[in-house]
Structure 1
């Protein structure tokens, strides 16, 4: 994304030496809900879950660049004509009506991408346990929310969030609520704590110092719902689903010792620590999510 933004800025700077163009009109497309042919100077791209407004941007150009209907983009961000934008403003991408299942996806991963509990997706599509899916199957998505793309987050200590607003930090619930008891995945000093950072970044978990190759253990018993390296910045990643709707994440591993679908016990070794992804020293990025919402692991670890 940085390279694309740098290239876009370089292109705008090059245009500064030419005679000033006439003032642009915001509503340049007769049919605002359509996807017009991009102007030559607007390059389509995958905007992920959100786009940060740059100097000179208009809503119509952002819609073309991100390949979304302008009216849906406006509605997703509660914008009204004349669609005034501010530099640095974060626009959430509208959720599509349907998701087509790709190879290797399961209902949990689809729900995580769009910020929908997998149980809600199952009920909305009349899918019963064990929630088997087929490649090419269409999954209807409930309306009223925007994309929450886990892969768009940088799990390193100085990460910046692309979400429009972070969820509220949650305190430890009472023991009677069915919350699992979580153990530390690895013992070490906390390199980066949970929450907002002074530079505007946000960490959705904690980063724990570790030795290369050190055993990474499951914080609680559960089922592995993801094991791989497809999510940018996380390196070798394991996601484990637990009772009560909780999920734990273990990132930056050098080696994974479990596979998707495995049942793991509390304390079982699931990976070896490393420095894969967006970090330069061995550590474990550890998250606890209540549904799709990240919570402070320090309020849950014993």
Structure 2
């Protein structure tokens, strides 16, 4: 897979997000590691945790300091050349680990960067003081929470499709599809969310961009259906590029995404069944013709939907 200033913040991801009220609320967050939803904000960092270091007080332990300063204990120990049993003395000054940085590349947005580092995009936004709609610039430095494991895999925004390529693939009519499409090595199965030609396939593109799903041509207003039973963890238009977006969490750590809709018919927290209508197709976001951007992710890793939908 920019997901415009929002009057209301919606929630839901492979674990959670929501609707309008007179006061915007922060989206519920997705813990990609466990696939569970959570809504609590990150714990505030103690004012004692400053760039110049933390002064150890009587009774402090390394684990408590790491939690108080929102850093990984291993990173804190490494930055101060400490080894087990991590003996500390009052008055000792601990150097805070230098937070890792991600430099924004062309086509990236905060959601994709969050997926890359296994960090909810809301936490990245809060950590960097980036307000909705979370617009980024190429070359911008994004501070990552201390202890983040730097990734090497490239990510990008959803493919922008305006017309079908010369050769397209069309899924069989819905009436001829088997009731379920078994996913290899998983009890989870997926159906086509909508019938249509494939406008953009999964994977790397000649211009260096990458599509983490497929884009399926659709008629404006056509029914978009849940590919498998699951829970709505996001339903909104908060993330630049995706337009009206729905994310569903499924068994086995899977998340499916349905972007560019014209209307959403489910809300955060709803339980949906296979084939249930969850949205009306459209061209919201950064696309010019009606389509559905569809992703299947296992944990944080995008999978080629065609492996499961054939």
The TM-score, its normalising length taken from structure 2, stands at 0.48
RCO higher in structure (CA 8 A, sep ≥6): 2
Q: Between Structure 1 and Structure 2, which shows a larger proportion of helix residues?
A: 1
The TM-score, its normalising length taken from structure 1, stands at 0.49
